[in-house]
Every structure is written in structure tokens, then in C-alpha cells.
Amino acid sequence: MSVLNGKKILLGISGGIAAYKTASLVRLFIKAGAHVQVIMTPASKDFVTPLTLSTLSKNPVFSSFYNQDEENEKWNNHVDLALWADLMVIAPATANTLSKMANGTCDNLLLAVYLSAKCPVYFAPAMDLDMYKHPSSLASFNSLQQYGNIIIPAESGELASGLSGEGRMAEPENIVAFLEADLESKLPLKGKKILITAGPTYEAIDPVRFIGNHSSGKMGFDIALSAANLGASVILVSGPTNCKANNSLVQVISVVSAQEMYDVCHQYYAGVDVAIAAAAVADYKPKIVSAQKIKKAADEFTIELEKTKDILASLGANKKNQFLIGFALETENEIENAKIKIQKKNLDLIVLNSLQDEGAGFGIDTNKVTFIDKEFHVEEMELKSKKAVADDILNKVITHFYE
């Protein structure tokens, strides 16, 4: 999955012949999973039509401060557009537009949006080779980079003038690759390995029956995807679940029983930086598993149970430098029981769930948690989506490594 997946990209197009390439660039952004809004200077519409870009981006194209062709003229709010974006890409960026950007000239919608942008701004110069090397162009490049903008270097090749040399706008595929590489290099968990457990475990009674629980696995999968989106390599050990993790940075290892989950966790634990135990592991399993389906005969039936291995406690006992996070699902004396669990299992952080809280628990998309660290600092969170809770958990991981 591309790091651009889910990103909101503003594509600014200025009036150069390279504008014809932006149709391919929009398609590549959409293919990568990004949401795209296009802003054109009036001159750029001589090279590529707004209809083409609107069709490809699946959004209206903006080029003026208000829509003159509408009966009720509507103002296109440059501030709203700027605040919407996760990143802004200006391609092609002509000498004229770059000079205006560098000097704060604001005479069209694209420049107004640029001056209002709070997100990272990338620009891909496109001009003839002498223009590209002119001191005024070089001064624009330098000023814009000093402002924090990021240049996507022009390439060498045949130019519209018939000359050949530097100044050709980077090809759409190379622009996408540049953005992906730059964004990935800045991800806060880049280079970190995280082990995550998710879902229930099933403990066999006979070939068709088992002891299990109602865990859907969604919390663990959301944590895994959030970690991957922050650049981490994830080993996700999951019990039976219908959840999917469509990200190349997430390696899913499917298990069924607590013993299988225990074995896989210990196989990888020594090589990870973080372990997050979000699985709802069965505490007990049948002492004897019948090789054949047990027939319904007597009015009463007794199953002798024995404890499963405590995965989280064993990880805590073998902890070296790992940042270890556990979950606690409690129904009474929640804070006290969670603190005891932190000490007994040598945890750095515990995520406390209470079944007493409305909107928290199994099989739903929301959760309400309380964070307690090993110093017993308690931080109660509001009800949120499980994805938002996952982001909060990963922010704790980031804080551990960088603050």
C-alpha cells in the first residue's frame, strides 16, 4: 500500500506545456489511494481542460475565486481548500508562478491557496534550460526551500523549445515516487518493528467444538494498520477473525489456540522494538481434547480445564529493551486490577477497557480506554472510534522513543 493512500492532495497546475502530464499524475494519485483536488491557473487551461482533470479526480476543478457560470455565484474559499490538504503539489511550476510564490504575489486562486497552506508544499519546476539556470529562477528555488517548501528536481531531456537539457518537469511516475520516498523517510516509526496480537483464541473441546470469546480482532488490526501507516514493520499474530490488513508492512500470522499464539510471539519477540498484546487470549483450555465428536448423552457434562500459558506475562519476564503494552478488560475495581497487572507482568503501559462503559467492548467500532503507565499515571480517554484509539496508542509509542 502506498504511503499516499488516504492522503488529501491539492494539485496546483500553472500555465506551462508540461500541464498536459497532469492528467497522468492525477490518475497515479488516485491509483495510490489519494483524494485529489485540482486548482488551475487561468493560463493552464490552455494546455489541459478542467473537464479532463475533474473526471479523473472525481472532484470539481477550481481556477477562480468564484464560479462565474453559476446563477448564484459561489466563492471558492482558498482557506478551506488549504486547510483540507495533507500536502500540496504544484506541477508544473513555471518560472512566473515560482517567482510569485517566492515574493508573496497573490493574483490568482492557486497563489492564494499556496499562501494559506499549512501542509507540506512540493513544487516541480518546468521551464526551458536557460530559464531553469537563470539567476532569478535559482533565487526563487532557494527562497522557496528556505520557506520550507520541497523541490522535486527537474529532469533532463527534450524540451518544448526543441532544445534538450535540464528543465523538463519530472515525469508523473517520478513525482509520485519522490513524494512516497520523502513521506516515508519522515514517518516517526520508520525502522521500528512491532509485534501485535489480535482477536480471540479458540481452545478445542473436540474436533467441532471450542472454548472462545466474542473478540472481533478489530482493535488489534486497527493498531497494526496505524503502526504501518507510521512506517513501522508489523508482525500481526491473529486468532480467528474476519478482519483484513491490506498493507505490505503488515505480516499477518494466523493462529487458533493460545499455545500457537504463545509460540509465534516468542519466535519473533527478541527482534522487535515494541509488543502490543491486544488479543483476547483464553485463560483456560480443556485438559483433555477428545479425538472424536462428543455425543450428546448424559444430562450433565463436565469439562476439566487447565490454565493456558500467560503470553503477556512471559513477554514481560523476557523483556530486554522492548516497549511492552498490555490490555486489561475489567468489570470491577478496574484501576486497581490494572495496576496489579502492570507490576505482575512487567508492562510499560496498559490499556484499560471497562465493560461498564457504554460504547466499549466486543464487536463494535468504538472503544473507551484509560491509559496507565508503569509509574501509575492514569489518563482517561473519551469514547472514540477504535481507529482513533489505535492512533492514541501509537502516539504513546512515539512519545516513548522520541521524548
Q: Which residues are catalytic?
A: 213
d(Cα 90, Cα 94) in Å, to the nearest integer? 9
Report whether 341 contacts 329 (CB < 8 A): no
Please report, as a single letter, which amino acid is at residue 19.
A
Helix (H, G, I), strand (E, B) or coil at 164: strand
Find the Cα–Cα–Cα–Cα dihedral 366, 368, 373, 375, rounded to 10°.
170
d(Cα 259, Cα 215) in Å, to the nearest integer? 18
* Polymer length in residues for the chain: 403
Helix (H, G, I), strand (E, B) or coil at 383: coil
Long-range contacts of 181-187 (CB under 8 A, 24+ apart): 182/122, 182/150, 183/3, 183/4, 183/87, 184/3, 184/231, 187/3, 187/229, 187/230, 187/231
